[in-house]
A and B are shown apart, each in its own frame.
Chain A
Amino acid sequence: MPDSLSRDEVAHLADLARIDLTDAELDHLAPQLSVILDSVASIRGVAGDDVPPTSHALPLTNVFRDDVVRPSLTPAEALSGAPDVDQQRFSVPRILGDEQ
C-alpha cells in the first residue's frame, strides 16, 4: 500500500475527479498530496475489526415526510443559473463520443 503518490497517480486521480491539471500543477500538488497522505496513514491499525464504523454522529433512520404536494422552483427559477438554455431546458455539450 503506497503512502505516497507518484506524479502519474496524481494525474490519474485528477482524471477520475474530472479536473484538468497542468504540468506545473502536477509538479506542485503531487508532493503535497504525498505529505498529506503520509500523515493521515497514521490511523491505519488504530481501530480493530470489532469497532463498528460511524458514518453519522446521530444515527437517524427512516426519515420520511408526508407525501403531499408542496411548491417547488418554477422552470425559469430552475434555469436561472444555467450556463446555456434551450427551449426551457439545460443545454449541455455533446455527451457522446464522435464515433457514436
Chain B
Amino acid sequence: MSADLPEVLTRSAADLADDLASGATTSVELTRASLDRIAAVDGAVHAFLHVDAEGALAQAAAADERRAAGQPASALDGVPIAVKDVLATRGLPTTCGSKILEGWVPPYDATVVAKLREAGLPILGKTNMDEFAMGSSTEHSAYGPTHNPWDLTRIPGGSGGGSAAAVAAFEAPLALGTDTGGSIRQPGAVTGTVGTKPTYGGVSRYGLVAMANSLDQVGPVTRTVLDAALLHELIGGHDPLDSTSIAQPLPGIVDAARQGATGDMSGVRIGVITELGGDGWQAGVQDRFRESLDLLVKAGADVVEVSCPSFVHALATYYLVMPAEASSNLAKFDAMRYGLRVLPEGVASPSAEEVMKATRAAGFGDEVKRRIMIGTYALSSGYYDAYYGQAQKVRTLISRDFAAAFESVDVLVSPTAPTTAFPIGEKVDDPLAMYLNDLATIPANLAGVPGISVPSGLASEDGLPAGFQILAPALADDRCYRVGAALESLLVEQWGGPLLAQAPALPSEGASA
C-alpha cells in the first residue's frame, strides 16, 4: 500500500510534527493531502460521516501562521486529526451514528475537542461508529457500515471502526476514539493500528455523549505507540467540567513510550491472563500473541501466567451494567429539546409521551432498542437485586482480581480480540456472537484500569491483523506505553517496517494526490 502513497500520508504524527517544526512541510500541505486521500478512498472505506474541508484548511492556515511566527500552540500544532462522532464539536454535525441526532450541530465543544483546537490540530471531520457506540463492528451505524481497509468485505471493529479505519487507510494520521468495553482497542486490533483506553477519569468525558458513564473513556487512535502517547498527553488531565475526572497529573507517558522504544524490558514483570485465551480463540491470533510474548522475554521481561478467575463473569457483568446506564442516559432523547421529533401517524393531537414513543421508535436502531430494554428490565423493581445489584458486586470481584494480579506483575497481557475481522453481515443480527468480540477488553473498563492494543502481526489463516493487549494498574498508563513501544519496535524490526505497509492498496476514485 505504502509504495503508491505520498510519503506525507504514511508518516507518523511525531515525524510530521518534526517536519512542521523544521519547516519541511506545512499544515496546509498535510491537511490537503489527508482531504485528497479521503476524497479518493472514503467512498470505499466509509470511515467518515462528515468531512469539514473548509474548516480544516482554515485551521491549517492558522497553524502555519503560528509556526511561521515561531509560536506553535503545541508540539502537534498543525497535524490533522479525525474525531469520533460521539464527541460534541461546536459547529460540526454530531450524530453518534444515530438517526435521532441526524443534523444536530452542538452549540459547544467536548473538552477534548476544545483541547485539540487550542493545540492547533485541524479537525478533518467526524468518524463513523456503531449507533451510540453500541457494537463491535460499526454495522450498527444508522448511516451504513465502515469497511476494513485490509479487506473491504470485512468489519473494522467497533464501535470506533471509523476512527480506526481512517488511520489504517492513511486518511488521517491521528484520530480520537472512545472505549466503553473495547471500542478503541478492538478496532485497533482488527485494523492493525494502535489504540489506548486511558485510566478511567484520566481524560475528560465532558461533551462525550454518554453510553455508560462509569465505563466510557476517550482515547487516542494512531498508527504508532509514540503517537498515541503524544495525543494521550494532549487530551488528558483534570477537567473541572467532569466530576469523575482525576485531579492529579498524568504519569510521564511520552517519556515511557520513548524509553520503551529502546526495546529493553529487563526487570519488567508480565502476567499472561489464563482466562483470556484457549478454546474458542482463533489459532492465528494466539500464535501472534505467543510470538510477541517470546520477543518481550528475549528483551529481558519476566513472564508468568496469572489467573483472574472472576473474568469469566466479566461479559455478563458488562451486559448488565452497561445497558442499565445506557437506558438511563438515552432517556434524554425525548424529542423535546433537540434531535428528531416524529409525530405518531393518525393521532390528531398527540401527547408528549406519544411523540416521545414515536420518535424513539423511528430514531433508534435495533441494537439501541435491545440495550435500552435490557437495561430497563435490569433496573426494574423486583429484578434489580438479582441483575444490576449482582453485577455491581461482581464488578468488585473483577477489580479485586486485578489488584491481586498487580501485586506480582507490572502489566497483564492477552490477545486484544478473540478473532481477526469477520465478514460484514455475519453477526449483525446475533447479539451474543457480537458481544463475544469484547471478551478480553471489557475487564479493564469494569475496573477502570488503562489498556493499549498494539498490532502483533497477521494471522496465518486469513492474513488479517491481530492485536496484543497490555493492561496496567489505574494511573499507571505509562507502563502500557513502555511495554507497547518495546513490542512495537521489536516487531517492526522483525517485519522490516510497519505492519500497515503490508496492507493491500485501496481502490481509488477521483483525483488523488
Contact = CB atoms under 8 A, between A and B. Distances in A.
Interface string B186-228: 0000000000000011000000000000100000000000000
Given A40-B320, A46-B397, A81-B339, A54 B392 contact: yes
Given A33-B373, A54-B392, A57-B399, A78 B386 contact: no
B481 interface: no
- A interface secondary structure, majority: loop
A21 B361 contact: yes
Contacts of A93: 343, 350-352, 354-355
A16 interface: yes
Nearest to B363: A19
A93 to B, nearest CB: 5
A14 B380 CA distance: 13
Given A13-B377, A43-B391, A53-B389, A19 B244 contact: no
A29 B369 contact: yes
Interface in A21-51: 21-22, 25, 28-29, 32-33, 35-37, 39-47, 51
B354 to A, nearest CB: 8
Given A29-B366, A40-B320, A46-B390, A78 B214 contact: no
A73 to B, nearest CB: 6
A35 B432 contact: yes
B316 A58 contact: no
B246 A58 contact: yes
A40 B200 contact: no
Interface string B70-88: 0000000000000000000
Interface in B329-355: 331, 334-341, 343-344, 349-355
B107 interface: yes
Interface of B: 104-108, 200-201, 214, 240, 243-244, 246, 310, 313, 316-317, 319-320, 327, 331, 334-341, 343-344, 349-358, 360-361, 364, 366, 369-370, 372-374, 376-378, 380, 383, 386-387, 389-397, 399, 431-432, 446-449, 474
Given A53-B392, A58-B201, 4 more contacts: A17-B360, A33-B377, A47-B393, A81-B104
Contacts of B331: 18
A41 B315 CA distance: 11
B361 A19 contact: yes
Contacts of A87: none
Nearest to B340: A83
- B interface secondary structure, majority: helix
Given A43-B391, A51-B397, A97-B351, A16 B380 contact: yes
Contacts of A60: 201, 243-244, 246
B313 A43 contact: yes
A40 B240 CA distance: 36
Contacts of B200: 56-58
B446 to A, nearest CB: 7
A54 B107 contact: no
Given A29-B366, A40-B316, A52-B396, A47 B390 contact: yes
B485 to A, nearest CB: 25
5 contacts: A46-B390, A57-B447, A57-B474, A60-B243, A81-B106
A92 B334 CA distance: 10
Nearest to B213: A56
A88 interface: no
A65 to B, nearest CB: 5
Contacts of A1: 383, 386
